[in-house]
Structure 1
Amino acid sequence: MPATPVTVIRHRKERIAKCSLRHLHERPGFRFLRASCGMRFDASGQILLAVDAPPLSSADRGRALVLLDSTWRHLAELRRCITGEPILRSIPGDVRTVYPRKSRIYDDPEAGLASVEALYVALRILGEDDESLLDGYHWKDQFLASLR
């Protein structure tokens, strides 16, 4: 169980079968919410991961973490569910995904990661290096090797 409380808000159209976080649903310390039309989540004082934000650092320890789980296409819509004053942070720019992206319609951000990759790196930065978070991730070994 992570010491950092984690809330994952999944876009209503995101397919659980393709979700990189599905193996964490029953794990203590994680709360999974499915965003429905009109849903609101007050993230005041919590860290909200965002690609274009200042980098996450160990100075952010002690705050809850909010992760939006969506395709890049639906991310702006999902972001509108967040209310309050979250603390926006990004994963440092030297971390790259190993997930094979295949969108022919939408450009994925260069710094974009699979949700489980972002979660693992965020908790690692916050002092909780738990490789078992990646146990259900097909590209676990490649991702860990890329971080070395």
Structure 2
Amino acid sequence: MTPPTIIVVHPKERRSKCSVEPLRGREGFVFWKYPGRGVESLDRYVRLGFGGPEIGPADAEAGLLLIDGSWRHAEAMEQDYGDVPVRSLPRWETAYPRVSKMNSDPMGGLATIEALYAAHYHMGRDTQGLLDEYYWRDEFLNLNRERLASN
């Protein structure tokens, strides 16, 4: 049995704007409120982030840890999970419209639900229904149709 996907949410994230909020309560997903941790062990987990090897089928049996917070908060949050091996995504296009007067997003920055979908896709996991509640689902899938068609 594959460990659940754990999503660590920063307390300042507004649940009404959180792209992964519709997954709360869904089987296979666990939400932790940062800085707390749940009862799940992170022994067999990989963390989605920047700078690690690309995530793929070799990670299919591992649990997946995602950090959900603004880029400013996520950077600090990642330090608390430095013991979890990092995996990165190949380039995907985001459909999420971002406008920030204070910070710029890193190249390849995706909405959390987009990153989760892409990670599950590359791990060979079922992606059915992950984007059902995502407002920009169709645009995201359209922007990435070549990537989806090539695998």
* Counterpart among 105, 109, 112 of residue 112 in structure 1: 109
Q: Which amino acid aligns with 2:84?
A: P
Q: Which residue of the partner structure matches residue 149 of structure 2?
A: none
C-alpha displacement of 1:142: 0.6
C-alpha displacement of 1:34: 0.7
Q: Which residue of the partner structure matches residue 54 of structure 2?
A: 55
Q: TM-score, normalised by structure 2?
A: 0.86
Identify unmatched segments of 5+ residues in structure 1.
Answer: none
Q: TM-score, normalised by structure 1?
A: 0.88
Q: Which amino acid aligns with 1:48?
A: R
> Aligned with 1:124: secondary structure?
helix
CA contact 2:56–2:122 (8 Å) conserved in 1: yes
C-alpha displacement of 1:45: 3.5
Q: Which residue of the partner structure matches residue 129 of structure 2?
A: 132
Say whether 1:14 aligns with 2:13: yes
Cα distance change of structure 1 residues 143 and 3 upon mapping to structure 2, 3 Å threshold: farther
Query: How large is the Cα RMSD of the aligned pairs?
Result: 1.9
Q: Which amino acid aligns with 2:87?
A: R
Q: How many residues align?
A: 143
Q: Which amino acid aligns with 2:10?
A: H
Please give the per-residue CA displacement for 1:40-83, whole angstroms capped at 9, x wherever unaligned: 57634411001222211111110000000011011122113325
CA contact 1:7–1:30 (8 Å) conserved in 2: yes
The percentage of counterpart residues that share the same residue type is 37
> Aligned with 1:81: secondary structure?
helix
> Aligned with 1:132: secondary structure?
coil
CA contact 2:50–2:86 (8 Å) conserved in 1: no
Q: CA–CA distance in 2 between the matches of 1:40 and 1:29?
A: 17
Please give the per-residue CA displacement for 1:101-143, whole angstroms capped at 9, x wherever unaligned: 1111111001110000000110111112424100110000011
* Counterpart among 77, 82, 98 of residue 101 in structure 1: 98
